Protein backbone atom coordinates (compact mmCIF):
# COMPACT_ATOMS: atom_id res chain seq x y z
CA UNK A 1 0.00 0.00 0.00
CA UNK A 2 1.19 3.49 -0.79
CA UNK A 3 1.78 5.82 2.09
CA UNK A 4 -0.72 8.27 3.41
CA UNK A 5 -1.53 10.06 6.61
CA UNK A 6 -4.50 11.96 7.98
CA UNK A 7 -4.21 15.73 7.84
CA UNK A 8 -7.23 16.14 10.10
CA UNK A 9 -7.27 14.22 13.39
CA UNK A 10 -26.58 -5.61 -5.72
CA UNK A 11 -26.20 -7.30 -8.39
CA UNK A 12 -23.34 -9.72 -8.71
CA UNK A 13 -21.97 -11.32 -11.85
CA UNK A 14 -22.57 -14.95 -12.65
CA UNK A 15 -19.92 -17.10 -11.05
CA UNK A 16 -19.05 -14.49 -8.41
CA UNK A 17 -20.03 -15.27 -4.80
CA UNK A 18 -22.30 -12.79 -3.00
CA UNK A 19 -20.53 -10.06 -1.05
CA UNK A 20 -21.14 -10.05 2.69
CA UNK A 21 -21.22 -6.31 3.30
CA UNK A 22 -21.56 -4.98 6.83
CA UNK A 23 -21.56 -1.22 7.33
CA UNK A 24 -20.46 -0.20 10.81
CA UNK A 25 -21.63 -3.09 13.00
CA UNK A 26 -21.32 -2.47 16.77
CA UNK A 27 -17.70 -2.18 17.81
CA UNK A 28 -16.14 -4.87 19.96
CA UNK A 29 -12.76 -5.08 21.61
CA UNK A 30 -10.17 -5.75 18.90
CA UNK A 31 -8.48 -9.10 18.72
CA UNK A 32 -11.35 -11.11 20.22
CA UNK A 33 -11.39 -13.43 17.22
CA UNK A 34 -7.69 -13.30 16.48
CA UNK A 35 -5.57 -16.38 16.01
CA UNK A 36 -2.18 -15.24 17.29
CA UNK A 37 0.89 -17.34 17.88
CA UNK A 38 1.96 -17.64 21.51
CA UNK A 39 5.36 -16.41 20.39
CA UNK A 40 3.88 -13.23 18.89
CA UNK A 41 5.03 -10.55 21.31
CA UNK A 42 3.52 -7.79 19.16
CA UNK A 43 -0.14 -8.72 19.75
CA UNK A 44 -0.41 -6.38 22.73
CA UNK A 45 1.19 -3.59 20.69
CA UNK A 46 -1.37 -4.17 17.96
CA UNK A 47 -4.23 -4.02 20.43
CA UNK A 48 -2.91 -0.69 21.71
CA UNK A 49 -2.61 0.55 18.12
CA UNK A 50 -6.22 -0.39 17.41
CA UNK A 51 -7.56 1.11 20.63
CA UNK A 52 -5.55 4.34 20.72
CA UNK A 53 -5.13 5.17 17.01
CA UNK A 54 -8.19 3.66 15.33
CA UNK A 55 -11.11 3.24 17.73
CA UNK A 56 -10.30 6.62 19.31
CA UNK A 57 -10.75 8.28 15.89
CA UNK A 58 -14.15 6.76 15.28
CA UNK A 59 -13.67 3.55 13.28
CA UNK A 60 -16.46 1.25 14.49
CA UNK A 61 -16.56 -1.76 12.17
CA UNK A 62 -15.91 -4.72 14.46
CA UNK A 63 -14.54 -6.95 11.70
CA UNK A 64 -12.10 -4.25 10.57
CA UNK A 65 -10.91 -3.68 14.14
CA UNK A 66 -10.34 -7.40 14.63
CA UNK A 67 -8.41 -7.69 11.35
CA UNK A 68 -6.21 -4.74 12.26
CA UNK A 69 -5.53 -6.49 15.55
CA UNK A 70 -4.55 -9.73 13.84
CA UNK A 71 -2.44 -8.78 10.81
CA UNK A 72 1.23 -8.42 11.87
CA UNK A 73 2.00 -4.96 10.48
CA UNK A 74 5.69 -5.19 11.44
CA UNK A 75 6.20 -8.02 8.95
CA UNK A 76 5.39 -5.66 6.06
CA UNK A 77 8.09 -3.04 6.77
CA UNK A 78 11.85 -3.30 6.23
CA UNK A 79 13.86 -4.56 9.20
CA UNK A 80 15.65 -1.21 9.47
CA UNK A 81 12.40 0.58 10.40
CA UNK A 82 10.52 -2.26 12.08
CA UNK A 83 10.55 -0.39 15.39
CA UNK A 84 8.28 2.21 13.75
CA UNK A 85 5.71 -0.29 12.43
CA UNK A 86 3.01 0.50 14.99
CA UNK A 87 3.61 4.23 15.26
CA UNK A 88 0.86 6.69 14.33
CA UNK A 89 2.55 7.63 11.06
CA UNK A 90 3.44 6.34 7.59
CA UNK A 91 6.68 4.33 7.44
CA UNK A 92 9.10 4.18 4.46
CA UNK A 93 9.28 0.87 2.58
CA UNK A 94 11.76 1.87 -0.13
CA UNK A 95 11.60 3.22 -3.70
CA UNK A 96 10.15 6.46 -2.37
CA UNK A 97 7.02 4.72 -1.02
CA UNK A 98 5.58 4.25 2.44
CA UNK A 99 3.13 2.06 4.31
CA UNK A 100 0.19 4.23 5.37
CA UNK A 101 -0.70 5.36 8.86
CA UNK A 102 -2.69 2.56 10.59
CA UNK A 103 -5.78 4.76 10.98
CA UNK A 104 -5.90 5.46 7.24
CA UNK A 105 -5.71 1.73 6.43
CA UNK A 106 -8.56 1.01 8.85
CA UNK A 107 -10.66 3.95 7.65
CA UNK A 108 -10.34 3.05 3.97
CA UNK A 109 -11.15 -0.58 4.74
CA UNK A 110 -14.24 0.45 6.70
CA UNK A 111 -15.37 2.83 3.94
CA UNK A 112 -15.05 0.02 1.38
CA UNK A 113 -17.50 -2.02 3.50
CA UNK A 114 -16.24 -5.44 2.45
CA UNK A 115 -16.48 -8.85 4.03
CA UNK A 116 -16.38 -12.52 3.18
CA UNK A 117 -16.94 -13.22 -0.50
CA UNK A 118 -16.44 -9.64 -1.67
CA UNK A 119 -14.30 -9.15 -4.76
CA UNK A 120 -11.92 -6.26 -4.07
CA UNK A 121 -9.38 -4.49 -6.27
CA UNK A 122 -6.46 -2.69 -4.64
CA UNK A 123 -4.51 -0.16 -6.71
CA UNK A 124 -0.97 0.11 -5.30
CA UNK A 125 0.12 -3.11 -3.58
CA UNK A 126 3.07 -1.37 -1.94
CA UNK A 127 4.04 -3.29 1.19
CA UNK A 128 1.13 -5.74 0.87
CA UNK A 129 -0.34 -4.72 4.23
CA UNK A 130 -3.67 -3.36 2.98
CA UNK A 131 -4.14 -6.48 0.85
CA UNK A 132 -3.50 -8.65 3.91
CA UNK A 133 -6.12 -6.77 5.94
CA UNK A 134 -8.67 -7.22 3.15
CA UNK A 135 -7.81 -10.92 2.82
CA UNK A 136 -8.12 -11.34 6.58
CA UNK A 137 -11.70 -10.08 6.24
CA UNK A 138 -12.38 -12.91 3.79
CA UNK A 139 -12.35 -10.79 0.63
CA UNK A 140 -11.19 -12.09 -2.74
CA UNK A 141 -8.33 -9.62 -3.31
CA UNK A 142 -6.76 -8.48 -6.59
CA UNK A 143 -3.86 -6.04 -6.27
CA UNK A 144 -2.00 -4.07 -8.95
CA UNK A 145 1.47 -2.55 -8.40
CA UNK A 146 3.32 -0.43 -10.96
CA UNK A 147 6.76 -1.04 -9.37
CA UNK A 148 7.90 -4.63 -9.96
CA UNK A 149 10.32 -4.81 -6.97
CA UNK A 150 7.56 -3.80 -4.57
CA UNK A 151 5.17 -6.35 -6.02
CA UNK A 152 7.78 -9.11 -5.72
CA UNK A 153 8.55 -8.27 -2.10
CA UNK A 154 4.88 -7.97 -1.15
CA UNK A 155 4.10 -11.30 -2.81
CA UNK A 156 6.83 -13.02 -0.81
CA UNK A 157 5.56 -11.55 2.47
CA UNK A 158 1.91 -12.33 1.74
CA UNK A 159 2.73 -15.93 0.83
CA UNK A 160 4.94 -16.42 3.88
CA UNK A 161 2.24 -15.14 6.23
CA UNK A 162 -0.51 -17.29 4.76
CA UNK A 163 -2.18 -14.74 2.48
CA UNK A 164 -1.17 -16.55 -0.69
CA UNK A 165 -4.72 -16.27 -2.04
CA UNK A 166 -4.13 -12.57 -2.80
CA UNK A 167 -3.70 -12.15 -6.56
CA UNK A 168 -1.09 -9.58 -7.62
CA UNK A 169 0.35 -8.31 -10.85
CA UNK A 170 2.56 -5.53 -12.19
CA UNK A 171 0.64 -2.94 -14.17
CA UNK A 172 -0.73 0.58 -14.43
CA UNK A 173 -3.35 0.92 -11.73
CA UNK A 174 -5.17 3.61 -13.67
CA UNK A 175 -6.46 0.85 -15.95
CA UNK A 176 -7.56 -1.42 -13.10
CA UNK A 177 -7.91 -5.16 -13.70
CA UNK A 178 -10.68 -5.40 -16.31
CA UNK A 179 -10.50 -9.18 -16.74
CA UNK A 180 -11.42 -9.67 -13.06
CA UNK A 181 -14.12 -6.98 -12.96
CA UNK A 182 -16.68 -6.15 -11.77
CA UNK A 183 -15.64 -5.46 -8.17
CA UNK A 184 -17.61 -4.95 -4.99
CA UNK A 185 -14.98 -2.44 -3.89
CA UNK A 186 -11.87 -0.74 -5.20
CA UNK A 187 -9.30 0.84 -2.87
CA UNK A 188 -6.72 3.20 -4.38
CA UNK A 189 -3.59 3.90 -2.34
CA UNK A 190 -2.04 6.66 -4.47
CA UNK A 191 -3.64 9.94 -5.50
CA UNK A 192 -4.68 10.70 -9.08
CA UNK A 193 -5.47 14.28 -10.01
CA UNK A 194 -8.90 13.10 -11.20
CA UNK A 195 -10.91 9.94 -10.56
CA UNK A 196 -9.84 7.31 -13.14
CA UNK A 197 -12.85 6.50 -15.30
CA UNK A 198 -11.74 2.86 -15.90
CA UNK A 199 -11.95 2.23 -12.15
CA UNK A 200 -15.45 3.65 -11.86
CA UNK A 201 -16.57 1.45 -14.74
CA UNK A 202 -15.14 -1.67 -13.06
CA UNK A 203 -17.45 -1.30 -10.05
CA UNK A 204 -20.45 -3.53 -9.60
CA UNK A 205 -23.82 -1.92 -9.03
CA UNK A 206 -23.65 -0.92 -5.37
CA UNK A 207 -19.85 -1.12 -5.40
CA UNK A 208 -17.64 1.48 -3.74
CA UNK A 209 -14.48 3.18 -4.95
CA UNK A 210 -12.36 4.59 -2.09
CA UNK A 211 -9.79 6.96 -3.57
CA UNK A 212 -7.70 10.01 -2.61
CA UNK A 213 -8.01 12.67 -5.31
CA UNK A 214 -6.02 15.83 -5.94
CA UNK A 215 -2.55 17.17 -6.63
CA UNK A 216 -1.71 19.33 -3.60
CA UNK A 217 -5.01 19.52 -1.73
CA UNK A 218 -6.30 15.96 -1.65
CA UNK A 219 -9.64 14.60 -0.46
CA UNK A 220 -10.42 11.00 0.38
CA UNK A 221 -13.57 10.21 -1.59
CA UNK A 222 -16.08 7.36 -1.61
CA UNK A 223 -17.82 6.87 -4.96
CA UNK A 224 -20.76 4.46 -5.05
CA UNK A 225 -22.20 3.06 -8.27
CA UNK A 226 -26.00 3.31 -8.27
CA UNK A 227 -28.75 2.64 -10.78
CA UNK A 228 -28.73 6.40 -11.50
CA UNK A 229 -24.96 6.76 -11.96
CA UNK A 230 -22.31 7.52 -9.37
CA UNK A 231 -22.79 9.09 -5.94
CA UNK A 232 -19.66 10.83 -4.60
CA UNK A 233 -18.84 12.11 -1.13
CA UNK A 234 -15.75 13.59 0.47
CA UNK A 235 -14.55 12.08 3.76
CA UNK A 236 -11.39 13.82 5.02
CA UNK A 237 -8.37 15.71 3.69
CA UNK A 238 -5.38 13.38 3.19
CA UNK A 239 -1.92 13.31 1.67
CA UNK A 240 -0.93 10.35 -0.50
CA UNK A 241 1.92 9.86 -2.94
CA UNK A 242 0.82 10.74 -6.51
CA UNK A 243 -0.51 8.02 -8.77
CA UNK A 244 1.95 7.42 -11.59
CA UNK A 245 1.53 5.85 -15.03
CA UNK A 246 -1.37 7.12 -17.14
CA UNK A 247 -2.83 9.03 -14.19
CA UNK A 248 0.41 10.97 -13.85
CA UNK A 249 0.43 11.78 -17.56
CA UNK A 250 -3.09 13.19 -17.36
CA UNK A 251 -2.31 15.41 -14.38
CA UNK A 252 0.13 17.59 -16.36
User: Domain spans of the chain?
Assistant: 26-250
Q: Confidence band (pLDDT; 50, 70, 90) for 216? A: confident
Write down the mean pLDDT value for the chain. Answer: 88
Residue 79 has pLDDT above 80, yes or no: yes
Q: Reply yes or no on domain 26-250 having CATH 3.40.50.1980.
A: no
Is 37 known to be catalytic? no
| Range of lowest pLDDT (14-18, 34-38, 188-192, 209-213) | 34-38
| pLDDT at residue number 129 | 98
Instruction: Name all contacts of 88-94 with Cβ < 8 Å and 24+ positions apart.
Output: 88/53, 89/5, 90/3, 90/4, 90/5, 91/3, 92/3, 93/3, 93/126, 93/127, 93/150, 94/149, 94/150
- The residue from 9, 100, 143, 251 that is catalytic is 100
pTM for this entry: 0.87
Contact, 173 vs 124, CB < 8 A?
yes
Q: Dihedral (C-alpha) 101, 77, 142, 248: value to the nearest 10 degrees?
A: 70
Residue pLDDT, tens place only, 4-21:
555 433 333 334 456 776
Strand pairing class (229-240; 218-226): antiparallel
Helix (H/G/I), strand (E/B), else coil: 164:
coil
Amino acid sequence: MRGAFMMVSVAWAAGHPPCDRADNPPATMPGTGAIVSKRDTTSITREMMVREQIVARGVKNAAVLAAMGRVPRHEFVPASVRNLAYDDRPVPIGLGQTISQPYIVALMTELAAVGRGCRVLEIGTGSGYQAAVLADLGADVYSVEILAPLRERALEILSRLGYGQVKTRVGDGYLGWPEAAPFDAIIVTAAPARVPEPLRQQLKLGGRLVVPVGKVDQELKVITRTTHGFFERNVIPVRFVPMTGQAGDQSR
